[in-house]
Structures are given as structure tokens and as C-alpha cells.
A and B are shown apart, each in its own frame.
Chain A
């Protein structure tokens, strides 16, 4: 067994290790942190604490590939996505998109960048303006970025977008409340791809959908990716869905990435105890498999990011934690080809680690 020296967060790129592609990454995130101050006081506001919602994460996404970002509530996955697209969330560190540094960019200079980054949200109803017709919702990015040459070109593009996501162009005249949940998510996707982006950020984009509709949307996303060579940052809590769509996966816990690997490796041999517990917690629709399977049940609740535990944030719940875990904050270490985990005890293909 060989243990590769620790990779210091931010300096050497995790992406170099895990990417395995000769291309330049389309999105390169280094040591990204988002801290929210907690203030007390009525007139004189003092900062009493700091919520480290995202605490120094690094990852790369290459053209045409999907990075799955998984974690439970409070893991910071959504905040990380908002910091990437600079959506009312100021991050520290570095976010390079197509070679351009986004941290610190003004709103007006961010606008042309946002054309190339689409975003799809969990609640398709809450993210669609109820007073706009479907056609105008989908066509809005075309107007904002001046991508339609004429009115007839605009209508043509809207019709083709609608049919591309499996809606009939005749639906352009309808309002969002006339659509079902799945159709609204199709609208959301059509709007996100309207300005021909190269990266889509999908934040729990299929989580609220019924399983039969969820499968349709997942297939649509895969088709669009193949057709337009789109890169996806796919954020979700459902590990089965993430495995299905992702090339690589990063697992977050309390604002940090605790493990990252190629999807196949992460699911076949998770190295971090948290990843192992997460995977074992997911029931699969197979009674024979389910009843013979051992399950790791974690103790306790998710800690609050306002007051995280000392050392390894996971140690109070970890089934294999030792004394040193409370004192030492583990760094993400490369433990196998394309696989890194932030755990003092994790070793390559750690068979003995399971709790």
C-alpha cells in the first residue's frame, strides 16, 4: 500500500488527479469558501459567529462531463453552486470559468458569463414567473443576451427549444400553472439551455419529481449533454440518481469535500466512513438484497455549521473514529487512482475501515 503525500487544499489541483482528461477544465474551483457572519445587536451590530457554509473546496469540471455534488442538508452544496455563479453569494478563493476568474467580477461583467452558465432549480414552479407565458419564460435569455435576430427568429428559436425538451411548441402560449411538475421542469431546462451555455448547474433539479417523471428528465439531461457537449454540476442528495448521471462525484459534509472519485470507484469502494454510511443508508428496490445487507446507522444528528465539531467534522458520528480524529483536521489525500478522501484512517481500498 502506498499513501500519496497530502494534497494541500488549493495549491496542487485535485482536478489534475481526478480529472484524467487532457482538456482544460471548463470550470476550475480552488479553495472556495463562503462564510456568513452571524450578527447580534440592534444599533451596533457585532459579529458573534461565522457560519462556514462552504469551507475551502476545490474541484474541476471538464467539457461534456458531469460532476455530482452530494451531501445532506447544511453540507453547503447549494451555497457552493451559488458562489460559482455569483448569485447573491460572495465567495473567497478562485472560480475560473473558461479561464476567466469570476470572484470579484462586477454584476455587469458577470452578465455575459452567465449566458454560458445555465441554472436549473429544484422547485420548477417557484423559479418560473407565473405571469409570463411559457414561450416568454424560455425566450427571456434570448432577449436579455440579444440572441434573436428578429421576432420571427425569436419565435422559431423558442419553438425549437420547447420541442427539444419534449414540449409541444403550441404550449408557448400557456402559463406555468397550466403545466404539470415534470413539464415545468422541462420549461426550466429549456430556459437554462436557451442561451447555449457550456455549463449547467442543476440544483436538486429532479428531486421533487415523481419517479416516472424523474427518469424522463434524467434521460433528457443525458441527451442534451451528448448533443451540446454540456458540462453539468449536478447537485443532489439522492446518491442513486447521482451515480446514474455523474462521471465523477464529490461528497460534501459541513462545507467541505470529504471524498471525491470517479463515480464507479466511489460507489464500488467508498473510502471515507461518511461516504460508506451514506451509501449503506440508501434502500434499494430489491427485498432480497435489502434484507441481507448490513447497514451502517450513524449516531446523532447533523451538526450545525455554526458550531462545527473540532478536528474532523465527522468524528462525533463516525463509527470508526479514534482519539486523534477530534484533534486533527484531515486534509483531502489521494488514496487511489482518481480518488481522494479526507480521513486520517482511510487507506487505499480501505476494506478494514468499515464500521
Chain B
């Protein structure tokens, strides 16, 4: 199946695999609230390469979901405003294209799956109609061809009796099946990038495993890049090639999964890894959690936002915010003390 890129989205040099598929540059998104302006995403930059799986991990309010919504230009406005930055997808800055062109990108260029499939699916339309709609819209297929393709897609995501299922409504499906339908819709136009925002968080453990394996297998078959957004460190460890760790609106550490999990350089990453009870380690008597609370986004600490909870904080951390700096081959850490941190952690973990 071929996908026609709208002429206006074509660039002079067609994107090749050496330039990243998606380049997010200095993205800033804020919300105007009665308590004042909240900067949910405060200058985030990262790349997604063709066909790779990138993880975006962090706790609630860290800005991971708002980053994804900003890429898709789905931030509700008002109160949300994308203030600054560039989202370059296949060579085009999505923040400067028209709404109509953006509609072409959503679905055909970038697919997205959310946590709660029930609220993303239209309850009064059949499953079939919801899959055929983007096929007709983006690919210009006729009704008959679209229905045939929809049945194939349902089969691809592991839904049995796909022909009959097309006439079902969302409420007739289980949570896992709904998420399978969402994947079928998101992949229907063979996008280059699939964004999964806490897509398996609401599912039971055994169903979560099914959906994750399905998502990973399909994206690698189709060559689709996958951006997994989750708070679950285990999911990222299993599926992501690289990851970004976010805290209070910014990326604090990035690198390959091996680097970040086995040789973390940011105190927040270390704190996260020490907070979760882990089946791969002996059951310990006590966890070693990060102290304190996630800061109020309307009232962030000065300097490094993690400073009040950090064991390694010095006077310097109070003055200016550290920026991401290269610490290894592909690893970046935003911390003044990262060399001390790495040393002391290696001493403890060995």
C-alpha cells in the first residue's frame, strides 16, 4: 500500500534514513491556569530516528504527555499554548503548517494511541466505520476497498472473526480488544511514527504483555518508529532502544537503554530505579525512595528543579539550571555533579 504525501509536505530532499524522522527542538508548551502560567514542557529537544523505538519516561506532571500532544498539535487551546520550538517531521516544521495539512499528518504521517481506548473511540460508530474513515480520508480508498483493508487490519492486530467484528460497537469489545482496534486505526495508513501514550497502563498485566508485543512486532514489521510514553521503567527497558528521562518539564537524562539503566548519571534516574521493587534483584528489606514530593509546576524551585530532593545537590545547583551535556558515547545528563554521582553509584551497585 502506498501513501501519497501531500505536495506541500514534500521537501526538496526527500528524507533519508540518516536524518532523523522527527526532530523536536526547544519545545515549550504552557498552560494558563487561575494559579498562573504553568510551563508543562520547558524547552525539550530530542530526535526519533527512522524505525527506532524511543522511550519517554517520567512521573505524573513531568511533561511527557504534553510533549506528545504538542508534536501532534493536540494541546487544547485555551488554556494550552505551544510557545516556542520546532517539531520537524520528515523535514517540515509541523508547528508552522496549516490545520488542514496537520490533519493529513495525523494518521497518515504520525499515528497515536492513548491510555483509554474507550474515550478515543466513538461509541456510536461501528468499529468498521472507525477504521475505514481514515483509509477513505487519507488514502482515498473506496468504501469496498476500505472495508476489505479494515478486515485485514483487524486480523493483523489479532482480532478473530474480523469480518463480523467490523459491525460491532466499541462497548461490545473488552479493554484489550479496544486497544487492539486503536492500534489498527493508528497503523491503518502506515504512518512513519506511532506514539503510544500510556497505551497499556489501564490494562491487566497479561493483556498489557499481549498489546506491547503486538505493538513492537507490528512496528518492526512495518518499519514504523515507535515513541513509547510511560511511567513504567520496565516497559521501556524491554522495548526501547533509547530513552529520555523527564522531570518537571525537561529531559534530565538520555541515552541507550543499557546506558541509562545500568550506568545512570542523573540523581533523578538513580532515584527512580531505586524506588521500584524489582523482580530482577533479591527482595530487599527496604526501598530507597526519592525524598519529598514532585514539585508544584506553578512554583518550581530555582536552579535545578530536582535540587530539593537531591542527595548530591550543592550551592551551585541553586543558582542556574544545568543543561544536558554529553557524558558518554550517546548519553547526556543535565547535572553539575554527574561525575561524582556516577562514581558513588557504581561503588554502591558493584
Contacts and interface: CB of A to CB of B under 8 A. Distances in A.
Given A215-B289, A243-B277, A288-B258, A282 B205 contact: yes
Given A211-B275, A212-B290, A281 B177 contact: no
A286 B294 contact: no
A239 interface: yes
Contact of A287 (B261, B277, B278): B261
A231 to B, nearest CB: 18
Interface stretch (A87-95, A120-128, A145-153, A295-303): A295-303
A284 interface: yes
A214 interface: yes
B150 interface: no
Contact of B277 (A241, A295, A297): A241
B213 interface: yes
A286 B277 CA distance: 12
Contacts of B207: 72, 301-302
Contact of B280 (A183, A211, A244, A284): A284
B176 interface: yes
Contacts of A216: 289, 291
A219 B289 contact: yes
Nearest to B232: A283
A285 interface: yes
Nearest to A295: B209
Interface string B281-304: 001111111110110000000000
A73 B204 CA distance: 7
Interface string B174-198: 1011000000000000000000000
Interface in A299-319: 301-302, 317
B283 to A, nearest CB: 6
Contact of B278 (A284, A297, A317): A284
B286 A298 contact: no
A224 interface: no
A317 B204 CA distance: 14
Contacts of A100: none
A291 interface: yes
A83 interface: no
A299 to B, nearest CB: 8
A222 interface: yes
B272 A295 contact: no
A303 to B, nearest CB: 10
Interface in B185-239: 204-210, 213, 231-238
B33 to A, nearest CB: 15
B271 interface: yes
A290 B213 CA distance: 13
Nearest to B212: A283
A109 interface: no
Contacts of B275: 211-212, 214-215
A278 interface: yes
Interface in B247-287: 257-258, 261-262, 271-280, 283-287
B326 to A, nearest CB: 21
Contacts of A301: 174, 176-177, 207
B279 A279 contact: yes
Nearest to A302: B204
A12 interface: no
A211 B272 contact: yes
A284 B271 CA distance: 16
Count chain B CB atoms within 10 A of each CB in A73, A181, A267, A281 and give the residue with the most: A281
Contacts of B278: 240, 284-286
B109 to A, nearest CB: 29
A295 B176 CA distance: 18
A210 interface: yes
Given A282-B234, A283-B232, A286-B237, A218 B277 contact: yes
Contacts of A298: 206, 209-210
A277 B213 contact: no
Contacts of B276: 211, 214-215, 240, 285
A277 B213 CA distance: 14
Nearest to A317: B206
A324 B297 CA distance: 58
A240 B278 CA distance: 6
A131 interface: no
A263 B288 CA distance: 21
Contacts of A183: 293
A181 B235 CA distance: 24
Nearest to A183: B293
A285 B277 contact: no
Contacts of B209: 280-281, 295, 297-298
B287 to A, nearest CB: 4
A295 B279 CA distance: 14
Count chain B CB atoms within 10 A of each CB in A182, A216, A245 and give the residue with the most: A216
A298 to B, nearest CB: 5
A291 B272 contact: no
B339 interface: no
B60 interface: yes
A111 to B, nearest CB: 36
Nearest to B257: A287
A278 B205 contact: yes
Given A210-B294, A287-B262, A302-B204, A240 B277 contact: yes
19 contacts: A211-B233, A212-B271, A215-B277, A215-B289, A218-B277, A219-B289, A240-B277, A245-B277, A281-B209, A283-B232, A283-B237, A284-B278, A285-B280, A286-B237, A290-B238, A295-B209, A297-B213, A298-B206, A317-B206
Interface of A: 72-73, 180-183, 210-216, 218-219, 222, 237, 239-241, 243-245, 263-264, 267, 277-291, 295, 297-298, 301-302, 317
Given A72-B205, A281-B205, 14 more contacts: A183-B293, A211-B233, A211-B276, A215-B287, A219-B287, A239-B205, A267-B283, A282-B234, A285-B233, A285-B234, A288-B258, A289-B237, A290-B238, A302-B207
